[in-house]
């Protein structure tokens, strides 16, 4: 933590956990008998319970969205840029909830949690959950928190997919849906990258068919590869050129296989710092949830039909440099919303940062996001 917590931070925050003892029926047909969801909240729920905002997280993140968990934390939550007093998601006005997705590895029940039936980690016995399942579990958390209707449900990337699913499955339970750097389904290329990541993990000799916990190890080599690859898809060719170019780490080429170019150093560093912090089975599960997400598939592949019962007002944001979920993918969502005569604001932000732009303080993005949230606040 910085010597002094910045005045626009929510400051020290504590994660909470709720235990759900009602079985959850999953899309796959599997049932989770009981489970925990970890979450954090910032700001105060008003008396009308009308000012609650749900933040849905992306593949590798969690419920720690803003503030600091301990005085020793070097970094705040992953969306600190956007959440806090006076920030676009203003905690003086809103009650903000971040929850860790089911199947995760940061407090919610997932493959690394202890299976009460065996007293060992679930591992591969933990069922694959989908975006729809997450949204159902988040709706139950809403009930626990006494939130009948969210002022807004907000998310970037995989989080934006959850937002879309919320608007479809619980049309009366959110007034605004904000989906950022997302798509209504993955392309073959997106699935291909996920499959490479998964194959790297499951073919690692330390994977042990997902029961690596029992062997006191983890498929760290596979997870490293998955994370390196992920980072390439989070950045853009342009942003990598700006950040690293062909810059060498030392003055000269060594003609060997140690780090030579700065980009190699960056990728290895990102990979090394991920291993030990993230569960490999959760990584597999999250990529599968991404692959499967396709709300139109039950509606003759017609997204407009899938979303025809939605009632929320939408803000859709995309970034020009995002080749993972390019603006053209966001425009598919916008078209489906327009086809249903829903209120849609769409912003295509000029940014070279790639997919990761949704995390960044890009002035035009902050402005548009902030203005939209002021509108949401003005309705309270």
- Give catalytic status of residue 355 as yes or no: yes
Q: Which of 153, 154, 267, 349 binds a copy of itself (CB under 8 A)?
A: 267
Q: Which of 96, 154, 181, 225 binds a copy of itself (CB under 8 A)?
A: 225
- Provide CB contacts within 8 A for 305, sequence distance 6+: 296, 299
Residue count, binding to a copy of itself (CB under 8 A): 58
* Window 115-154: residues binding a copy of itself (CB under 8 A): 127-128
Report in angstroms how near the CB of residue 342 gets to a copy of itself at its nearest: 25
Looking at beta carbons only, is 172 or 237 nearer to a copy of itself?
237
Q: Find out whether 83 and 359 touch, Cβ atoms under 8 Å.
A: no
Point out which residues pair with 152 in neighbouring strands. Answer: 53, 176
* Window 202-221: residues binding a copy of itself (CB under 8 A): 202-205, 221
For residue 90, how many other CB atoms are within 10 A of its CB? 21
CA-nearest of 134, 172, 117, 120 to 150 is 172
- Give catalytic status of residue 206 as yes or no: no
Rounded CA gap, 79 and 55, in Å? 10
Of 17-25, 64-72, 151-159, 240-248, which part binds a copy of itself (CB under 8 A)?
Answer: 240-248
Q: Which of 22, 70, 257, 363 binds a copy of itself (CB under 8 A)?
A: 257
Output phi, psi for 307, to 5 deg: -100, 10
User: Would you mind telling me the total number of residues written for the chain in this entry?
Assistant: 380
User: What mask of x and - would describe binding to a copy of itself in positions 291 to 330, judged by CB under 8 A?
Assistant: xx-x--x-------------------------x-------
Output phi, psi for 121, to 5 deg: -60, 145
Q: Which of 93, 176, 224, 353 binds a copy of itself (CB under 8 A)?
A: 224
Q: Which of 149, 187, 217, 273 binds a copy of itself (CB under 8 A)?
A: 187
Q: Find out whether 54 and 150 touch, Cβ atoms under 8 Å.
A: yes
Q: What is the dihedral of CA 162, 165, 170, 171, to 10 degrees?
A: 110
The residue from 204, 322, 353, 356 that is catalytic is: 322
* Window 73-92: residues binding a copy of itself (CB under 8 A): none
Residue 378 interacting with a copy of itself (CB under 8 A): no
Rounded CA gap, 2 and 73, in Å? 8
Residue 188 interacting with a copy of itself (CB under 8 A): yes
Rounded CA gap, 58 and 79, in Å? 11
Q: What is the distance of C-alpha 68 from the center of its chain?
A: 19
The residue from 99, 108, 142, 157 that is catalytic is: 157
CA-nearest of 100, 176, 101 to 132 is 101
* Window 3-62: residues binding a copy of itself (CB under 8 A): 27-30
- Give catalytic status of residue 322 as yes or no: yes
State the Cα angle at 356 between 350 and 358, rounded to 5°: 65
Question: Which residues lie near a copy of itself (CB under 8 A)?
Answer: 27-30, 127-128, 185-189, 191-193, 195-196, 198-200, 202-205, 221, 224-225, 228-229, 231-232, 235-237, 240-241, 243-246, 253, 255-257, 260-264, 267-268, 271, 284, 288, 291-292, 294, 297, 323
Which sequence positions are flagged as catalytic?
157, 322, 355
């Amino acid at each position: 933590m910085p010597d002094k917590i910045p005045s626009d931070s929510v400051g020290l925050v504590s994660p909470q956990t709720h235990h759900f003892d009602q079985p959850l029926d999953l899309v796959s047909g599997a049932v989770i008998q009981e489970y925990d969801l970890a979450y954090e909240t910032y700001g105060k729920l008003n008396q009308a319970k009308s000012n609650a905002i749900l933040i849905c997280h992306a593949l590798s993140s969690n419920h720690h969205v803003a503030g600091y968990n301990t005085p020793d934390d070097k970094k705040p939550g992953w969306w600190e840029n956007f959440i806090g007093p006076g920030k676009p998601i203003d905690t003086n006005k809103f009650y903000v909830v971040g929850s860790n997705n089911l199947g995760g590895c940061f407090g919610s029940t997932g493959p690394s949690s202890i299976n009460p039936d065996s007293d060992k980690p679930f591992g591969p016995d933990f069922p694959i959950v989908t975006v729809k399942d997450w949204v159902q579990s988040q709706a139950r958390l809403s009930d626990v928190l006494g939130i009948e209707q969210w002022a807004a449900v907000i998310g970037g990337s995989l989080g934006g997919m959850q937002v879309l699913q919320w608007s479809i499955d619980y049309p009366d339970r959110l007034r605004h849906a904000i989906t950022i750097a997302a798509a209504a389904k993955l392309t073959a290329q997106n699935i291909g990258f996920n499959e490479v990541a998964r194959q790297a993990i499951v073919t690692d000799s330390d994977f042990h068919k997902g029961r690596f916990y029992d062997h006191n190890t983890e498929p760290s080599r596979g997870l490293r590869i998955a994370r390196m690859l992920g980072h390439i898809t989070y950045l853009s060719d342009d942003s990598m050129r700006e950040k690293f170019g062909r810059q060498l780490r030392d003055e000269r080429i060594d003609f060997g296989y140690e780090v030579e170019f700065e980009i190699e150093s960056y990728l290895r560093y990102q990979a090394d710092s991920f291993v030990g912090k993230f569960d490999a089975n959760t990584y597999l599960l999250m990529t599968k949830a991404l692959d499967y997400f396709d709300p139109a598939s039950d509606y003759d592949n017609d997204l407009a039909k899938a979303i025809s019962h939605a009632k929320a007002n939408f803000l859709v944001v995309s970034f020009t440099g995002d080749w993972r979920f390019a603006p053209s993918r966001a425009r598919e969502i916008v078209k489906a919303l327009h086809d249903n005569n829903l209120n849609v604001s769409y912003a295509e932000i000029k940014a070279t940062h790639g997919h990761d732009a949704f995390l960044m303080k890009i002035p035009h993005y902050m402005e548009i996001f902030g203005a939209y949230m002021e509108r949401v606040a003005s309705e309270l």
